[in-house]
Amino acid sequence: MTDSSKNQESDEDIAQNYDGFYFVPMDNEEELNYKLAFFKFQDEYANSTPVDAGNTFHIAFFKQDDEGLPQFDDSFEAILTDPIVYINNLLGSNLSGCILRKTNKSDKWFSEYLDYITNGEFEKKVRSYAQSIAEN
């Protein structure tokens, strides 16, 4: 159901080996799908310890505004047995977002991420990028 850059591993295996991932709906008329981009921390957040056996996640959702650009919608924590199955159940909702495994170090990263998203800087960059694409 998903598109990832690591073809040898299943999405579930990849999700277990990474700290988090971003997801965006794919614009494909043939089927509903998500594009996933997994990430693993390499800085001060690396080598952290998951809480609750690694089943608790920070989640941020974005919806599209009237111009089709991402707009912050909601954030929360949830216990998920499989975050990939969770987002696949959102197919058709046109939501995008970020899912981050909750660890002893993740609260700070997620807080800074949400500050960046909600303070207007993210929106400026997205609008600038979209305008650049439209002009070329």
Residue ranges of the domains in the chain?
2-135
Beta strands at 2-3 and 34-39: parallel, antiparallel or unpaired? parallel
Smallest Cα–Cα separation from 7: which of 40, 30, 32, 38?
Answer: 38
H or E stretch at 86: helix 83-88
Instruction: Report the predicted TM-score, pTM, of the whole model to 2 decimal places.
Output: 0.78
| Residue in the block written with tokens 């997620």 | 110
Q: Taking 50 as the threshold, does the pLDDT of residue 122 lie above it?
A: yes
Assess whether pLDDT exceeds 90 at residue 76: yes
What's the rounded mean pLDDT across residues 28-42? 82
pLDDT of residue 39: 92
